[in-house]
Amino acid sequence: MTRNYLLTALFMVLGLGNLFGQVTHHINLYVNTAEITKPDEYRFCTFENQPADVDVREFTVQVNVGDIVIWHGISSSSPNDQVLISQINYQGGDNVFNSNVLNDTPENPGVVVGVVQPGTVGFTMKYVVNFKVLNNGIQRNGTYHLDPKIFVAPN
């Protein structure tokens, strides 16, 4: 009986910790690296969990204050290709991060991380994802850009 009580208490504490703690959001950008072209790069890109009837430029991720947001790029056409996200740039609306520009780092090239700042509940931010495509290690056509949104919901 005591063991069951302890297990129940443990699950309750762990569950409540997740309710009030920060969440990590992995925003996966899938790119058709074999066909992507400018200036219509949006036609070759989708975000994970993007509804079929939503344009990639209108895709909105919902987050909460304190959440960690991590952007990853993934090739949808070849395992030998890479999608390297180099920057997230504030474009419009209300900035939810502590900087107008978030960069990848030498420790995590091609991956950008941001933390949603306090005082941003209800904010919607339009931002630009800057990314490069490598086909078998060779860069294709410079830097590409997409401009989705992020919304900070009440906790």
Direct distance between the N- and C-terminal alpha carbons of the chain, in angstroms, rounded to an integer: 35
Residue 87 confidence (pLDDT): 98
Contacts of 105 (CB under 8 A, 6+ apart): none
Summarised one tens digit per residue, pLDDT across range 39-75 is 999 999 999 999 999 999 999 999 999 999 999 999 9
Look up residue 108 and give its DSSP letter: S
pTM score of the predicted model:
0.85
Conformation bin of residue 122: beta by default, left when phi > 0, alpha when psi is -120 to 50: left
Backbone φ and ψ for 131, nearest 5 degrees, come out as -145, 155
Residue 7 confidence (pLDDT): 31
**Could you give all domains of the chain from N- to C-terminal order, each with its CATH number?**
22-152 (2.60.40.3910)
Residue 16 confidence (pLDDT): 40
Look up residue 6 and give its DSSP letter: H
Reference 89, options 78, 81, 97; nearest CA is 97
Look up residue 10 and give its DSSP letter: H
Reference 62, options 53, 72, 52, 51; nearest CA is 51
Residue 1 confidence (pLDDT): 42
Residue ranges in the chain modelled with pLDDT below 70: 1-20
Residue 20 confidence (pLDDT): 57
Q: Are 74 and 84 in contact (CB under 8 A)?
A: no
